Amino acid sequence: MPTDTHLPRILIVDDEPAIQRFLKTALSNGEFSLSQAENGHAALATAVATKPDVILLDLGLPDMDGVEVIDRIRQWSQVPIIVLSVRDRETDKVRALDSGADDYLTKPFGVGELLARIRVMLRRSLQQTPEPVYRIDELEVDLARRLVLLRGEEISLTPTEYDVLRLFVINAGKVLTHRQILKQIWGSAYLEQPHILRVNVSNLRHKLETDASRPRYILTESGVGYRFKSES
Amino acid sequence: MSMPQNDMRPSPEAMLKAAQAEEREGKRGRLKIFMGYAAGVGKTYTMLKVAGQLKLEGRDVVAAYVESHGRAETDALLEGLEILPKAQYDYQGVLLPELDIDATLARKAEIVLVDELAHTNVPGSRHEKRWQDIEELLAAGIDVYTTVNVQHFDSQSDIVTQITGVAVQETVPDSMLDQAAEIMLVDIPPEELLERLRQGKVYISEQATWAAQNFFRPGNLIALREVALRRTAAKVDDEMRSYMETRAIPGPWPATERLLVCASGSPFSEKLIRTTRRLAEELKAGWFTVYIETPSHARQQQENRERIWRDLRLAESLGAEVATITASSVAEAIIEYAQRHNVTRIVVGKPAKSRWRELFRPPIVDQIIRLSGAIDVHVVSINVASLNLVSRIFHRKPDVPWFDYLASLALVTGATVLLSLVQPFQSPTNMVMIYLLAVVVAAFRLGLRPAVLTAALGVLAFDFFFIPPRWSFKVQDTEYLFTFFGLFIVGVVISTLVAKASERSEVMRERELQTESLYYLTRDLATAADMSSIMAAVLKNISETLEAQLVVLVPQGEQMEVSTISKDLILDDKELAVADWSFRNHREAGVSTETLSSAKLLYLPLHTSSCFLGVLGVKLANMSEYHSPHNRRLLDAFVTQISLAMERVLLAQQAEHALVLQARESLERALLNSISHDLRTPLVSIIGALSSLRDENLQVNDRRRHDLLSGAWDEAERLNRFVGNLLDMTRVEAGELRMQKVPCDVQDLIGCALAALDQRLEGREVKVTLAADMPFVSMDVVLMNQVLINLLDNALKYTPTGSSIEILAQASPQHLLVEVLDRGPGIPEHDLKRIFDKFYRLPVPEGVHGTGLGLSICKGIVEAHGGSIWAENRTGGGLRIAIHLPL
């Protein structure tokens, strides 16, 4: 296996040979160095051996639950994990995200989408210190000065709305589950009260979005959580 | 041949009868009876010899119950045979051997030997009598050889008693003899029998010795032998007759006669019934036994009711058709029944009533004769002397409580006091009215006899207190004697009339109650749509009417399971076994019957002409309740009604099941068609496009390459959507919509759907109109999102590019209304409802492919939310699909 230390390392974990082959072909553009595993145990072993920069993990593995694989990896590494899952298993996705997965993709997916997600992950893991100012399209969030500008005009937010927006922009491009947001902003006691989050998101949208019915910044991942539009 | 052919042909009825008999014989075991005229003629010995012969021929013969009484010859014969172990029953501390019926059934031998057909089993056995055990063996298809003496047959027992003076305790219904395939008369001359007796070769139990001394006299034995020979000859005669009938041998066949006898609860009834049976047999006639229940009979003592019950059972076992009728006049009811059933002869007993009563009411016999018209009446004499003893017991009138008589005394006293107050102003003749009033009150309130007493006391009081000379019974004016006589006679007549009227109204009331309880049960059963509501109706109505505890058991595989049961009733294993027996043998069992009568409940099989459904178990307050004809009639009616209702529900269930199966089949076929079509079509373009690109020989320019790829891409997307729809559908179908309802922002919901369709919208304008201050609505976001996606997807597919699509949402305090509107071609009115059916596809412009699943998934999801979805055409063209969700 050619190991170029400069190239980002990607570990592909999937038990379907067809999907393995497809992913290998799609990602063999010289941009990444690839390693593969067909089951949970092999995935854990390879992860320890190759120290990948991103892991693509299928949740339906023959030998162990994908969520358990995430748990085990999280015990020693914060490597970004993108979960690949079939449709209609929202609860599985949420479980995986709550366990520490960073993002998910629903099969079938396009290669463009996959590459975009991988790049977001790689960028986030390379970026060590959070930048004080985020610029996304016409929105500018200055974390140091607690200032939110839309098309250059200051938007006034409640302290909670600002906290939610701050969490979104720090994690721009990444899915945040309802529980993750609730826990960060309101604390563990509010985990089962997602409506306070919905109310704040609804208010934020009315303040930030041109058409709240077709949001551009705060995107809803149905049944899972939210994803803030990433830069670029 | 001089006779027309068809006259020689057997009648269809006769052929049918013969065929039925043959068929019955095919299934049932054959009964062979070794009949003798007394103990010691060698029945058991003969039976064993025959059995030994069969054994030698290789037949499977076993001795299930044979008593050798220690005789060496008999024991020797037994040795060659397989002997089944006997059951041991504990009766008052003594273990008594009995036929082990279960072991015998389990052994499934070809021929089983069971001695002593007339034996009465130890209490606690399954059946009261051994002949019932044998019935069960025959029903199981086992051939039975048995022995019996002629005096044990029901119809012969009273003749034998007359001859010998020894009462026959153990009797067997004549039907056993009738159904026997073969009868073997074991006969030795009486002299020889007496000789064997003297040599001690005849076994007589100790208790029977005294009777035996009376029994074994040459005169008796000769007479008994004659009875046995005659009975056997009669059986042979029957066979001959049926042979001639089936072979169409011409002969003088008597016209069908029908006989009727009335069971009255008197001690003569039994004799009357036996006489009628003999008469019926001689005439080859069918016969009926009826019991007419009058209000006075209804009050009869328990003992007498049980006797009536026994009489009816006896008649039934002798082959009569039995009925109980409620009426106020015995004679009228008998005649009415007789006419309805084309009875040709009525058998009645000669009356034994004393003369003076006939002055008031003609005896029933006279009434019957007067009313009988074309029906013959046979009057049978009854030996009164032998019955005096019992008649005293059974003819005792119901007791009137002593305080009723006291009350009549009080009435007369009251009238007298009242009269003494008005005496100065009234003439004595007017005073009579007040006494008459007292009589009327007594008749109404106290019944006949206290009223008559009141009349008598009234006369005496009138004489003593008011007729000069007062304070004495002497009468000066003889005119008053007429007044006395008039007062008494009018008093008695009034009493009788009033008493009769109240008796009638009592009959009416009882009938009304009966009709009412039947009506309520029938009504509840008619509305019952399933087994559990039938059971609830049964429990409620029957336990109320009969004040009974009850249980209904239905078969579940091999077992009987309780379907419903009264609250405090507990069924142990033994009761379950009785219920099981009743179900399997289609006969009643348990308390008050002859089968397993030690059970606590009476079990009645529930069946209709076509199927056996279960068993009704009833526990009444006390023994006499079981024997009451009133209760039996009600129970019979209840059983019929319950059975019919159960059958109706079962049939409905079967029909429904068949319908569901049919619907599922046609759905599966449609699904298969749809899947094979919808899965293959996209694959055609995908594989086609890929093969063109892969084949290096084909010169594919950039433009064609792009076309092929985008075609394959679209088809792949479509395939993906279809598979998604199928998955959703399966989840809706399987009821696996485990909904996770959370309060949801409707705007967010719409936004999500639009985002999901972003690529397909291709810049098409979708106008979203949301009412201000929309509340959060509780719903499963993912599923409702799918509903909106499907609706928008349809709107995109079926409308021309560029036409407008709108989403409207508004809320009332109770409901959320979401509408998706387009300006497409709309849908024909008659299809508006059907578009939500599975695999329903509208004929659409070419190039548009639907799965026929999208809208039915929407419907499934919306309905799972307790909401509704419907479609309508818009004025000005286009379709409006609306979703209504409760808040």
Which residue from A199, A201, A223 is facing B781, i.e. has the nearest CB? Answer: A223
CA B723 to chain centre: 55
| Segment A151-163 mean pLDDT | 91
Closest CB from B740, B745, B768 relative to A198: B745
Other Cβ atoms less than 10 A from the Cβ of B70: the count is 8
DSSP assignment of B698-726: S---HHHHHHHHHHHHHHHHHHHHHHHHH
Q: Are B665 and B577 in contact (CB under 8 A)?
A: no
DSSP helix, strand, coil percent of chain B (3-state; round to 5): 55, 15, 30
Residue B672: other Cβ atoms inside 10 A: 10
A199 touches chain B (CB under 8 A): yes
Alpha helices in B734-844 (DSSP H): 746-756, 758-761, 781-798
Residues in CB range of B817: below 8 A, 6 or more apart: B808, B809, B810, B811, B882, B883, B884, B885
Q: What is the CATH number of domain B258-394?
A: 3.40.50.620
**What percent of chain B clears pLDDT 70, i.e. is strictly above it?**
85
pLDDT band at residue A87 under the 50/70/90 scheme: low
Tell me how far the alpha carbon of residue B206 is from its chain's centroid.
Answer: 46
Mean pLDDT of A219-231: 86
Distance from CA of A9 to the nearest CA of B (A): 30
Say if the Cβ atoms of B755 and A219 lie within 8 Å: yes
Same-domain pairing of A118 and A21: yes
Where do you find CATH 3.30.565.10 in chain B?
A: 737-886
Q: How many CB pairs under 8 A join A and B?
A: 55
| Whole-angstrom distance, CA of residue B100 vs CA of residue B62 | 13
Q: Answer yes or no: do A88 and B731 touch at CB < 8 A.
A: yes
Q: What's the pLDDT at B330?
A: 82
Q: CB A214 to CB B720 under 8 A?
A: no
Last residue of a domain, one of A72, A107, A126: A126
Query: Distance from A226 to chain B by nearest Cα, in Å?
Result: 11
Dihedral Cα B51, B56, B59, B61, nearest 10 deg = 40
> Residue A204 falls within a domain, yes or no?
yes
Q: What is the pLDDT of residues B322-364, one digit of tens each?
A: 877 777 788 888 888 888 777 888 888 776 554 554 455 567 7
Question: Which run of H or E residues covers position A226?
Answer: strand A225-228
Q: How far is A212 from chain B (nearest CA, A)?
A: 7
For residues B759 and B532, give the distance between their C-alpha atoms in angstroms, rounded to a whole number: 56
Q: A15 and A54: one domain?
A: yes
Stretch B544-563: mean pLDDT: 86
Same domain, A168 and A152: yes
Q: Is residue A2 part of a domain?
A: no
Asked whether residue B5 carries a pLDDT value surpassing 50, the answer given is: no
The predicted pLDDT at position B636 comes to: 83
What ipTM goes with this model? 0.76
Q: What is the pLDDT of residues B732-781, one digit of tens each?
A: 766 655 677 788 888 888 988 888 888 777 778 888 998 888 888 888 88
C-alpha span between A159 and B560 (Å, rounded): 72
Q: Which residue carries 């006091």 as its tokens?
A: B417
| Cross-chain Cβ contact B748/A223 below 8 Å | no
The CATH number covering residue A190 comes to 1.10.10.10
Is residue A206 within 8 angstroms of chain B, CB to CB? no
Both A94 and A137 in one domain: the answer is no
Please check whether residue A222 touches B, CB under 8 A: yes
Query: Between chains, do B785 and A222 touch, taking CB under 8 Å as contact?
Result: yes
* Count of domains observed in chain A: 2
- Please determine, for residue B807, whether its predicted confidence score (pLDDT) is greater than 90: yes
User: What residues in B contact A219, CB-CB < 8 Å?
Assistant: 755
User: Which stretches of chain B sit within 8 Å of chain A by CB?
Assistant: 716, 720, 724, 727-728, 731, 740, 742-745, 747-748, 750-752, 754-756, 768, 770, 776, 781-782, 785
> Do the Cβ atoms of B755 and A220 come within 8 Å?
yes
More confident residue, B804 or B70: B804
A190 CA: distance to closest CA in chain B (Å): 14
Please give the average per-residue pLDDT across B623-636, as a whole number. 79
B-chain residues within 8 Å CB-CB of A205?
747
Q: Tell which residue, B448, B362, B442, B373, has the closest CA to residue B409.
A: B442
Quick one: B682 exposed, middle or buried, by C-beta within 10 A (0-12, 13-18, 19+)? Answer: buried
pLDDT at B256 over 90: no
| Sequence-ordered list of residues with C-beta below 8 angstroms from that of A141, at least 6 positions apart, any chain | A133, A134, A147, A148, A149, A165, A166, A169
Report the mean per-residue pLDDT for chain B: 79
Chain B positions in Cβ-Cβ contact with residue A194 (cut-off 8 Å): 742-743
Average pLDDT rounded to a whole number, residues B527-531? 82
Q: What is the mean pLDDT of residues B714-724?
A: 83
Asked whether residue A1 is assigned to any structural domain, the reply reads no
Same domain, A210 and A139: yes
Cross-chain residue pair B750–A213, CB shorter than 8 Å: yes
Do strands B87-91 and B94-98 pair parallel, antiparallel, or not at all (unpaired)?
antiparallel
| Alpha-carbon span A134 to A127, nearest angstrom | 13
Confidence at residue B390, expressed as pLDDT on a 0 to 100 scale: 35
Cα–Cα distance between B121 and B594 in angstroms, integer?
A: 11
A23-27, B10-14, B186-190, B412-416, range with the lowest pLDDT: B10-14
Return d(Cα A154, Cα A160) in angstroms, integer.
17
Instruction: Check whether residue A162 and residue A204 sit in a common domain.
Output: yes
- Looking at A223-227, B179-183, B385-389, B677-681, which range is the least confident one? B385-389
In this structure, the answer to whether residues A20 and A65 fall within a common structural domain is yes
Contact assignment for B752 to A220 by CB distance below 8 Å: yes
Q: Which tokens belong to B720?
A: 């993906």
Q: Do B754 and A214 touch (CB under 8 A)?
A: yes
CATH homologous superfamily for B737-886? Answer: Histidine kinase-like ATPase, C-terminal domain (3.30.565.10)
**Which residues belong to CATH 3.30.450.40 in chain B?**
528-654
In tens, the pLDDT along B159-176 reads 777 777 777 778 888 888
Which A residues, 92 through 121, put their C-beta within 8 Å of a C-beta on chain B? 108
- B385-389, B575-579, B617-621: the lowest-pLDDT one: B385-389
pLDDT for A98 beyond 70: yes
CA-CA distance, B513 to B631, in Å (whole number)? 12
* CATH 3.40.50.620 segments of chain B: 258-394
Measured in angstroms, the CA of A201 and the nearest CA of chain B are apart by 9
> In the predicted model, is pLDDT for residue B829 greater than 50?
yes
Looking at the fold, whether A94 and A16 belong to one and the same domain comes out as: yes
Do A74 and A179 belong to one domain? Answer: no
3-state secondary structure B332-385: HHHHHHHHHCCCCEEEEECCCCCHHHHHHCCCHHHHHHHHCCCCEEEEECCCCH
Assess whether A188 and A87 both reside in one domain: no
The per-residue DSSP string of B595-622 comes to BSTTSSSEEEEEE-SS-EEEEEEEE-SS
CA torsion B664→B666→B668→B674, rounded to 10°?
-150
Q: Which pLDDT score, from 0 to 100, does residue A135 have? A: 86
Both tokens assigned to B360: 């008031």
Q: Is B73 helix (H, G, I), strand (E, B) or coil?
A: helix
Q: Which of A129-133, B128-132, B828-832 has the lowest mean pLDDT?
A: A129-133
Contact B577, B614 (CB under 8 A): no
Q: How far is A211 from chain B (nearest CA, A)?
A: 9
> What's the pLDDT tens digit per position in B644-691?
888 888 888 888 888 777 777 776 776 676 667 777 778 888 888 888
Name the residue among A198, A212, A223 with its Cβ closest to that of B743: A198
The answer to whether residue A4 sits within a structural domain is: no
Q: Which residue has the higher pLDDT, A68 or B682?
A: A68
What residues contact B276, with CB distance under 8 A and at least 6 apart?
B259, B261, B287, B289, B320, B347
What pLDDT is attached to residue B240?
64
Asked whether residue A171 is assigned to any structural domain, the reply reads: yes
Q: Which fold has domain B528-654?
A: Beta-Lactamase (3.30.450)
Mutate which: B745, B776, B787, B818, vs A, most A CBs within 10 A: B745
Q: What are phi and psi of A64, to 5 degrees?
A: -150, 160
Distance CA A174, CA A229 (A): 8
CATH number of the domain residue A92 falls in: 3.40.50.2300
Map tokens 């029938």 to a residue.
B522
Min Cα separation A22/chain B (Å) = 15
Chain B positions touching A90 (Cβ under 8 A) are 782
Which residue, A101, A126, A151, sits at the end of a domain? Answer: A126
The whole domain housing A40 covers 9-126
Q: A-chain residues within 8 Å CB-CB of B750?
A: 213
The number of beta carbons lying within 10 Å of the beta carbon of residue A24 is 13
Rounded to the nearest 5 percent, the helix, strand and coil shares of chain A are: 40, 20, 35
Which of A126, A152, A184 finishes a domain? Answer: A126
Query: Does one domain contain both A183 and A208?
Result: yes
In Å, how far are B31, B32, B33, B53, B649 from B183, measured between CA atoms? 9, 6, 5, 17, 48
Contact state of A87 with B724 under an 8 Å Cβ cutoff? yes
The confidence band for A204, taking pLDDT boundaries of 50, 70 and 90, is very high
Mean pLDDT of B291-313: 69
Distance from the A228 Cα atom to the nearest Cα atom in chain B, whole angstroms: 14
Mean pLDDT over A40-47 rounds to: 92
What are the start-end ranges of the H helices in B528-628?
Answer: 531-546, 573-585, 623-627
On whether both A99 and A150 belong to a single domain, the answer is no
The yes-or-no verdict on residue A81 having pLDDT over 90 is: yes
- According to CATH, what is the number of the domain B21-246? 3.40.50.300
B792 to chain A, minimum CA–CA distance in Å? 15
Residue B441: how many other CB atoms lie within 10 Å:
18
Alpha helices in A51-177 (DSSP H): 66-74, 90-99, 111-126, 159-170
Q: How many residues are recorded in chain B?
A: 887
CA neighbor of A110 nearest in space, from B709, B762, B750: B709
The dihedral sign for the CA sequence A150, A152, A156, A158: positive
At B616 the pLDDT is 92
- Residues with Cβ < 8 Å from B270, sequence gap 6 or more? B311, B314
The SS3 of residue A106 is strand
